[in-house]
Amino acid sequence: MTRPANAITRYTTLNRVNHWINAGLFILLVLSGLSMFHPILFFLSGLFGGGQWARAAHPWFGVLLVISWIGMIIQFWRANLPSKDDIAWSKEIVHVITNDDEHVPPIGRNNSGQKLVFWSMTLLIPVLFVTGLLIWEVYFGEATSIPVQRAAVLIHSLAAICAILVWVVHVYAAIWIRDSVRSMTQGYVTPGWAWHHHRKWFYQLAASRRVSKTTPRKNP
């Protein structure tokens, strides 16, 4: 689909490239990690060439994800700072979930759900990284005592489960709110989309004349 003349850029090329590197690594981590978590999912290790390979690759995916996530933090922390609107929006969460948008207060560039996804991951990824290092048998197997490793593996699995749940919410929300996926694949949304879902953001853009009805913007 070609980009309409009045499209609003929601995610820059850098935003999108970073996001999809992140997404790819996260999926690799989930698949290899789950294969070592529950026997009914051990078959997933076959995707990596067997258990030994899944075990060997998993921590390296993790290291790359940390680097990629730092990029995400740099690009998105500002848009995810909490604001007064979050409280009002969260109170109407039932209306949000039931698509009853009449009763959902207007919000800025990101809603509280999106902010929650961002900050949960920003908290969970470092926890996963540190506990992951402690149980990285090849390099850190002898670095800490066995009781420390036991605690680390427990925290690592709990944090991973939380991260997967957050990720399920994130993926489903992207499917549920139509055309969100396009904003992350092609970078733009329509004015109607911005008006419908992020009205305050839309007004900001309109006020600063960063979006115009008549002159089409160049694809960034």
Partner 1 sequence: MSDMQSQDYVRRSATTMTPPKARSHEDQVAKLIDVSRCIGCKACQSACMEWNNLRPEIGHFEGSYENPMDLGPSVWTLMKFAEYENEQGNLEWLIRKDGCMHCEDPGCLKACPAPGAIVQYANGIVDFISDKCIGCGYCVKGCPFDIPRISKTDHKSYKCTLCSDRVAVGLEPACVKACPTGAIMFGSKTDMTNWAGERIEDLKSRGFAKAGLYDPPEVGGTHVMYVLHHADKPSLYSGLPDKPRISPVVELWKGIIKPLAVIGIAMAAVGAFFHWTTIGPNEVTEADEAEADRVLREKEEEST
Q: Name the residues annotated as catalytic.
A: 170
Q: CB within 8 A of 156, min separation 6: which ones?
A: 127, 128, 131, 132, 135
Q: Please tell me whether residue 167 adopts helix, strand or coil conformation.
A: helix
| Contacts to partner 1 from residues 33-52, by CB under 8 A | 35-42, 45, 50-52
Q: Is 213 in the site for partner 1 (CB under 8 A)?
A: yes
Q: Is 193 in the site for partner 1 (CB under 8 A)?
A: yes
**Dihedral (CA of 126, 131, 134, 137) sign:** negative
Q: Is 1 in the site for partner 1 (CB under 8 A)?
A: no
Give the count of alpha carbons within 13 A of 25, CB side only: 18
Q: Is 138 in the site for partner 1 (CB under 8 A)?
A: yes
**Interface pick for partner 1 out of 47, 143, 165, 181 (rule CB under 8 A):** 165
CA distance 62 to 210: 38
CA distance 81 to 83: 6
* Amino acid occupying residue 161: I
Of residues 123 and 206, the one with the C-beta less far from partner 1: 206
Q: Which helix (H) or strand (E) holds 8?
A: strand 8-9
Rounded to a whole number of angstroms, the minimum distance from the CB of residue 191 to partner 1 is: 4
Q: Is 214 in the site for partner 1 (CB under 8 A)?
A: yes
Q: CB within 8 A of 211, min separation 6: which ones?
A: 6, 8, 191, 194, 205, 217
Rounded to a whole number of angstroms, the minimum distance from the CB of residue 27 to partner 1 is: 14
Rounded to a whole number of angstroms, the minimum distance from the CB of residue 75 to partner 1 is: 25
Rounded to a whole number of angstroms, the minimum distance from the CB of residue 213 to partner 1 is: 4
**Which positions lie near partner 1, rule CB under 8 A?**
6, 35-42, 45, 50-52, 54-56, 97-99, 101, 135, 137-138, 141, 146-147, 149-151, 153-154, 157-158, 161, 164-165, 168-169, 172, 175-179, 190-197, 202-203, 206-207, 209, 211-214
